[in-house]
Chain A
Amino acid sequence: MSATSHAHDEAGQAPLVGSLGVDSRKLGLWAFIGSETLFFTALITTHLIFYARTKADLAAKGMLEHMDPKLYLGIDLTTILAAILLASSLTMVLALAATKSKEWPKFRFWLLATIVLGSAFVLGQVYEFTHLYHEGLKLAPQYVYEGETVKSLFGVTFFVMTGFHGLHVTLGVVWLIAVYFKVRRFAASPENPMDVELVGLYWHFVDLVWVAIFTLVYLI
Chain B
Amino acid sequence: MAIAEQKLTSVSPATASSGSFPWRTWLATVDHKKIGIIYIVSAFVFFLLGGIEAMLMRVQLGTPNNTFLSADVYNQLFTMHATTMIFLMVMPMNVGIGNYVVPLMIGARDMAFPRLNALSIWLFLGGGLLLYLSFLTGGAPNGGWFAYAPLTQVQYSPTAGMDYWILGLGLTGIASIAGALNFIVTVLNMRAPGMSINRMPLFVWMNLVVSFIIIFAFPTFTVGSIQLLFDRQFGAAFFNPAQGGDAVLWQHLFWFFGHPEVYILILPVMGMISEILPVFSRKPIFGYSFVAFSGVGIGFLGFIVWAHHMFGVGMGPMANAFFAAASMVIAIPTGVKIFNWIATMWAGDVRLTTAMLYAIGFISMFIIGGISGITLASPPIDLQQTDTYYVVAHLHYVLFGGSILGLFAGAFYWFPKMTGRLLNERIGKIQFWLMMISFNITFFPMHIVGTEGMPRRIYTYEAGMGWDMWNLIETIGTFLLAFSVLIFIYNVLSSLRNGEVASNDPWDAATLEWTMPSPPPSYNFLHIPVVNSRRPLWDAKYPHAAGDDHHGPSSAPSQVRYEYTDEETEGAKDIHMPSLTFSPMIFSGGLTVASLGFIYINKDILGLPTRVAALGFILIGIVMVSIAIRGWILDSRKDSPYLSQHH
Q: Which of A42, A43, A191 contacts B642 (CB 8 A)?
A: A191
Chain B contributes a number of interface residues (CB within 8 A of A) equal to 58
Q: Which of B113, B223, B245, B575 contacts A28 (CB 8 A)?
A: B113
Residues of chain B within 8 A (CB-CB) of A194 are: 642
Say if the beta carbon of A109 comes within 8 Å of chain B: no
Residues 174-195 of B contacting A (Cβ, < 8 Å): 177, 180-182, 184-185, 188-193, 195
Say if the beta carbon of A216 comes within 8 Å of chain B: no
Q: Which of B184, B643, B647 contacts A27 (CB 8 A)?
A: B184
A19 and B223 contact, Cβ closer than 8 Å, known pairs A10-B647, A141-B244 = no
- Can you name the residue of chain B whose Cβ is closest to the Cβ of A174? B629
Residues 527-572 of B contacting A (Cβ, < 8 Å): 527-528
Contact B642 A189 (CB under 8 A): yes
Residues of chain B within 8 A (CB-CB) of A152 are: 244
A35 and B218 contact, Cβ closer than 8 Å, known pairs A19-B189, A19-B195, A28-B182 = yes
Q: What residues make up the interface of A, taking CB atoms closer than 8 Å to B?
A: 3-4, 6-7, 10-13, 15-16, 18-20, 22, 24-25, 27-28, 31-32, 34-36, 38-39, 41-43, 46, 49-50, 53, 139-142, 151-153, 156-157, 160, 164, 178, 182, 186, 189-191, 194
Taking the closest CB of chain B, its distance from the CB of A216, in whole angstroms, is: 16
Contact B189 A46 (CB under 8 A): no
Contact A49 B249 (CB under 8 A): yes
Contact B234 A28 (CB under 8 A): no
Say if the beta carbon of B266 comes within 8 Å of chain A: no
Q: Which of A27, A160, A190 contacts B226 (CB 8 A)?
A: A160
Contact B647 A18 (CB under 8 A): no
Taking the closest CB of chain B, its distance from the CB of A182, in whole angstroms, is: 6
Taking the closest CB of chain A, its distance from the CB of B345, in whole angstroms, is: 33
Q: Which of B215, B224, B226 contacts A31 (CB 8 A)?
A: B215
Residues of chain B within 8 A (CB-CB) of A22 are: 189
Say if the beta carbon of B253 comes within 8 Å of chain A: yes
Could you tell me the distance between the alpha carbons of A112 and B230 in the complex, rounded to whole angstroms?
35
Contact A43 B190 (CB under 8 A): no
Q: What residues make up the interface of B, taking CB atoms closer than 8 Å to A?
A: 107-109, 112-113, 177, 180-182, 184-185, 188-193, 195, 215-216, 218-220, 222-224, 226-227, 230, 234-238, 240, 243-246, 249, 253, 525, 527-528, 574-576, 629, 633, 637, 640-647
Contact B236 A140 (CB under 8 A): yes
> 15 other contacts beyond A7-B641, A31-B184, with CB at 8 A cut-off?
A3-B646, A10-B647, A11-B575, A19-B189, A19-B195, A22-B189, A24-B190, A28-B184, A31-B180, A35-B216, A38-B219, A38-B220, A41-B219, A160-B236, A194-B642
Contact B188 A19 (CB under 8 A): yes
Taking the closest CB of chain B, its distance from the CB of A3, in whole angstroms, is: 4
Taking the closest CB of chain A, its distance from the CB of B489, in whole angstroms, is: 37
Residues of chain B within 8 A (CB-CB) of A49 are: 246, 249
Could you tell me the distance between the alpha carbons of A46 and B216 in the complex, rounded to whole angstroms?
17
Residues of chain B within 8 A (CB-CB) of A13 are: 108, 190-193, 528
- Can you name the residue of chain A whose Cβ is closest to the Cβ of B236? A156
Could you tell me the distance between the alpha carbons of A3 and B188 in the complex, rounded to whole angstroms?
24
Q: Which of A15, A16, A34, A53 contacts B216 (CB 8 A)?
A: A34
Query: 5 shortest A-B CB distances, which residue pairs?
Result: A12-B528, A15-B641, A18-B189, A39-B219, A42-B223
Contact A27 B185 (CB under 8 A): yes
Taking the closest CB of chain B, its distance from the CB of A119, in whole angstroms, is: 18
Contact A7 B645 (CB under 8 A): yes
Contact B235 A31 (CB under 8 A): no
Taking the closest CB of chain B, its distance from the CB of A192, in whole angstroms, is: 9
- Can you name the residue of chain A whose Cβ is closest to the Cβ of B191? A19
